[in-house]
Structure 1
Amino acid sequence: MRGAGAWAALCLLLAAAAAQPSRPQPPERPVFTCGGILTGESGFIGSEGFPGVYPPNSKCTWKITVPEGKVVVLNFRFIDLESDNLCRYDFVDVYNGHSNGQRIGRFCGTFRPGALVSSGNKMMVQMISDANTAGNGFMAMFSAAEPNERGDQYCGGLLERPSGSFKTPNWPDRDYPAGVTCVWHIVAPKNQLIELKFEKFDVERDNYCRYDYVAVFNGREINDAERIGKYCGDSPPAPIVSERNELLIQFLSDLSLTADGFIGHYKFRPKKLPATTAPPITTTFPMTTSLKPTVALCQQKCRRTGTLESNYCSSNFVLAGTIITTIPRGGSLHATVSIINIYKEGNLAIQQAGKNMSAKVVVVCKQCPLLRRGLNYIIMGQVGEDGRGKIMPNSFIMMFKTKNQKLLDVLKNKQC
């Protein structure tokens, strides 16, 4: 039935395009190939063979160029790729420009993002599939727009002035629309950082920010290893200071509930402030700033203390899970854990896609304790201000085995 939906979407577009005052001609079915070079005011791109099932083990790249002085607006009309909560297998990447330097977004499954807008007159779309495919692929339409006259339905762009503001579409007159994707890329001079503050904030509330959210990243692309935080609800995030001279802000709304939205402000500042004005490390800073390991800390013996029972009560969170990604970053390790079972949630940020749940943890000293991808662990620890688990050299970590399940269930029902 998924193929029928893809074909229906294609037929509707073709019928609209073929409507002429004179005698109508039957629409020709376009042939979508793997990638291409596209220029002009508008056009369509689609996965190879769309609306048929896309082929396995492929990498297709489309480079789009609209007239000089305009920006590219990309609207997905249909998307049906293999679903995965981290989009690891089959996915579509969208980039500013014709290289993979700045990714605007990565998409898979059947979630159809809102309009994606480039900061210049070039955009690149890349689809990658692995050995096992599942779905009819995608179809999208691109069009040219004036950079400053894109209307309320669009948002995002390149921000290079020393200070400025950014806001959701329709702010402050009415709620932001459903199905919107906005990406603001802020670039300061090389020797400066970026301070970010939200003045008003109201985004659909969810415990795990699964539906509508704002995500802020160090650098120039959407990359989980560089994510400072993910926010929703009606409480403004604490002020943020970038680690480098670039910051990326992503806003996404799904196709259901909406809310007032937000307005935020940014300004550039020197990398080093005088000691008298340097703010303390508090919740206003990204977690990665306070997690930079010291030599003394990481020279400690890697030895957990206490027992499973004694650590249960002293930990913010307790879970059993499989390590699915590990990314070294400086002296620490950023890992994603696919949750088998959660016994104590605390304020740990948990992401959910269908029945799959995952969480982010940071091992402050990357070799201590050592987490290996693909293995199952019981993990206990504290939680940083951005909702990530914080694993210290003496945190309680052990291999998870079925026999541990009974004891953990007892501890879960026991009052600390």
Structure 2
Amino acid sequence: MMPLDCIWGVSLFLSLSLGWTKAQQPNYTRPVFQCGGDLVADSGFVGSEGFPSYYKPNSKCTWRITVPEGNLVTLTFRIFDLEADSQCRYDYLDVYNGHSNLVQKLGRFCGTFRPGTLISTTNKMMLEMVSDEENQGRGFVAYFSGTPPYVHDQQFCGEKFTKAQGEIKTPNWPDKKYPAGASCSWLITVEPDMIIQVKFDKFALEVDSYCRFDYVAFFNGGEKDDSRLIGKYCGDETPEPIISTGNVLLVQFVSDLSVTSDGFLAHYTSIRRGSPDSRASTRTIPQKPAPERPATTPQPPVPTTKLVPPPPPEPTVRAKPVKPTRSRTQGASSLCPKACKRDGTIKTSFCASEFVITGKVTSVTPGPRGSLNINVSLLKAYKAGRLTITQVGETMSVKLVSQCRKCPLLRRGANHILMGQVDEDGRGIVAPGAFVAPYRAAHHKLLMNISKQRC
């Protein structure tokens, strides 16, 4: 959670600020944030109910922001502290490009990782925060302001495509860099029996390990609340082809108000469901990371000669109802071989796997039908694709399922190389013959070299 001295410092700063709206009535010491309201002003602050106290359980609050006509709403988060979940199912904040949840959603956010700047395409924006009955955080505080549109509206782009193929590119491509404060959406709809493949010809966005600032995101589904994130990409390494699961794909490009880059050029085509192309990999080459933080510096594996028995559940983690593991793990006990042996080399396994990561195994707990549930604190993702990576502060974590309890060998507290496939819920599946090995710092260069080669 957020340190108290930081929270009270922000609170003092807010109490001295002007421009409070009807929904945010100040008292004599600091502003009092209420559950929702209409915020009509040139600029101001919006925050969760009762901030900096913990927000209420089982609540739903809606704020409608309106800035002067002819301006756009820019929303910048100062504090963000909601319950963390890889899919933001329990406590979350939705931001919409207008005053309705039927318009384009600019994002759903949870955890303690502060979102990047959001910009609407009109003078209206809506925030909707939902909490369940447990595990409340401090909430959020954000500053909104009216921003004049750029000349010729070059920072806004997008189109609705219904043709079988087309082109997607950032503003100003290829003459100069894309503008700061860009917000673009392309909605692609093809024939019902077809799916959509997007291939990048060129790709150069601002580099950030978590793609907080400039990024392009792909969603299965349309502009409403039923869309599901496929992936979010930035940096200067070209992603591999993106393939939708249905005949509708939403593509969103966002840049913040600072650093810009050359942008991207991509082409989409419709392909028949079930064709060889439709089964091609949707995996992506991970973005070139920003300089490693000290907390993520790889450490030597913990020396041990036997498997550590699964630990009891951690008291700070509540038991949430989860969907049962899908058919890949059913009957897993019958998959266990007599002797643990990898099926391929590090190179062949890299190419055959949907995810390739390095990280520390932080917990191992029994799952259904002889499987194991594994939590991994991520060091680096060399391939991620549809794998769900949870952001909690500056720590990244991954949930994996091992189909066999005894194979491959995993040691709690040790760093590993882990490869495998990804199920429909974004969980990594580690088969008995998957490439799993103790990780050492020397492996990083080898994995980076393999990631740059064609499979």
Fold shared, TM-score > 0.5 on shorter chain: yes
| Counterparts of 1:411 and 1:307, CA distance in 2 | 24
Gaps of 5+ in 2: 1-5, 22-29, 285-325, 351-355, 365-370, 447-455
Distance 1:255 1:166, change over 3 A: same
State the Cα deviation string for residues 104-144 of structure 1 (Å, max 9, x = none). Answer: 31235473532333699885533537755554622454879
1:186 matched to 2:188: yes
Distance 1:240 1:409 in 2: 30
Residue 113 (str. 1) matches residue 116 (str. 2): yes
Partners of 1:62 and 1:114 lie apart in 2 by 19
Give the direction of change, closer, same or farther, for the CA distance of 1:238–1:139 in structure 2 (3 Å limit): closer
Instruction: For residue 235 of structure 2, give the secondary structure of its aligned residue in structure 1.
Output: coil
1:303 matches 2:336: yes
The match for 1:358 is 397
Range that drifts further, 243-252 or 96-105: 96-105
Indicate conservation of the 8 Å contact 2:74/2:147, yes or no. no
Contact 1:218 1:244 in 2 (8 A): yes
Tell me the equivalent position of 1:234.
236
Is the CA contact 1:45–1:140 (under 8 Å) kept in the aligned structure 2? yes
Distance 1:337 1:150 in 2: 49
Q: Which moved more, 1:88-97 or 1:74-83?
A: 88-97
On the 8 A contact 1:348/1:359 being kept in 2, the answer is no
Identical-pair percentage: 28
d(CA) in 2 for partners of 1:357 and 1:240?
23
1:14–1:217: structure 2 CA closer, same or farther, 3 Å change rule?
Answer: same
- Say if 2:77 and 2:143, in contact at 8 Å, map to a contact too: yes
How far does the alpha carbon of each residue in 1:315-365 deviate from its partner, in whole angstroms, 9 at most, with x for none? 6556543579xxxxxxxx9x994417x6xx68344776655132465x6xx
1:339 aligns with 2:339: no
Q: Residues 261, 239 of structure 1: CA spacing in aligned structure 2 closer, same or farther, 3 A cutoff?
A: same
Q: Which amino acid aligns with 2:397?
A: S
Q: Could you tell me which residue of structure 2 aligns to residue 126 of structure 1?
A: 129
- Structure 1 residue 382 and structure 2 residue 436: aligned? no
In structure 2, do the counterparts of structure 1 residues 306 and 319 end up closer, same or farther at CA, with 3 Å as the change threshold?
farther
Write the distance in 2 (CA, Å) between the matches of 1:86 and 1:299: 25
Are 1:35 and 2:36 counterparts? Answer: yes
Give the AA of the match of 2:93: V
**1:241: how far off?**
3.0
CA deviation profile, 1:356-405 (whole Å, cap 9, x unmatched): 132465x6xxx93489xxx96987653569x99553354488xxxxxxxx
2:74 paired residue number: 75
Amino acid across the alignment from 2:251: I
Aligned counterparts of 2:52 and 2:428: Cα–Cα separation in 1: 43
Following superposition, the deviation at residue 259 of structure 1 comes to: 1.9
SS of residue paired to 1:175: coil
Query: How many residues get paired?
Result: 357
Cα gap change, 1:282/1:388 in structure 2, threshold over 3 Å: closer, same or farther? Answer: farther
Structure 1 pair 306–395 and aligned structure 2 pair: CA distance change class (3 A): farther
Change (3 A) 1:348 1:78: closer
What amino acid does structure 1 have at the position aligned with 2:382?
A: N
Within the candidate set 217, 220, 224, 2:219 is matched to 217
1:59 maps to what in 2? 59
Instruction: Indicate if the aligned counterparts of 2:106 and 2:118 stay in contact, CA closer than 8 A.
Output: no
The Cα RMSD (Å) is 5.7
Q: CA deviation at 1:57?
A: 1.8
| Deviation for aligned residue 1:303 | 0.7
Amino acid at match of 1:219: G
Amino acid in structure 2 at the alignment position of 1:382: M
**Cα distance in 2 between the residues matched to 1:175 and 1:55:** 42
1:20 maps to none
Q: 2:236 & 2:203 partners in 1: Cα distance?
A: 6
Q: 1:227 to 1:360 in 2, by over 3 A?
A: farther
2:106 equivalent among 96, 99, 104: 104
**2:320 maps to which residue?**
none
Q: What displacement does 1:166 show? A: 4.0
Q: Deviations over 1:225-272 (max 9, x none)?
A: 9544443333432333321022233445567644222233435x3645
Residues 412 and 120 (structure 1), Cα distance of their counterparts in 2 relative to 1, 3 Å cut = same
The separation in 1 between residues aligned to 2:140 and 2:332, in whole angstroms, is: 50
- Which residue in 1 is equivalent to 2:323? none
SS at 1:301 equivalent: helix
Tell me which residue corresponds to 1:8: 13
Partners in 2 of 1:107 and 1:49 — Cα distance? 17
The answer as to whether partners of 2:220 and 2:246 remain within 8 angstroms in 1 is yes
CA distance in 1, matches of 2:223, 2:405: 28
Q: Which of residues 354, 361, 381 is equivalent to 1:321?
A: 361
CA pair 77-241 structure 1, distance change in 2 beyond 3 A:
closer
Structure 2 counterpart of 1:262, which letter?
F
Provide the residue aligned with 1:368 in structure 2: 403
Give the alignment's TM-score, normalised by structure 2.
0.55
The CA deviation string for residues 139-170 of structure 1, in whole angstroms up to 9 with x for no partner, is 45487999x99834445x66244255444455
Give distance in 1, aligned partners of 2:78 and 2:41: 23
Does residue 284 of structure 2 align to residue 249 of structure 1? no
Match for 1:60: what amino acid?
K
**What is the CA distance between 1:202 and its match in structure 2?**
0.3
In 2: Cα distance, 1:72 partner to 1:129 partner: 35
Distance 1:165 1:11 in 2: 49
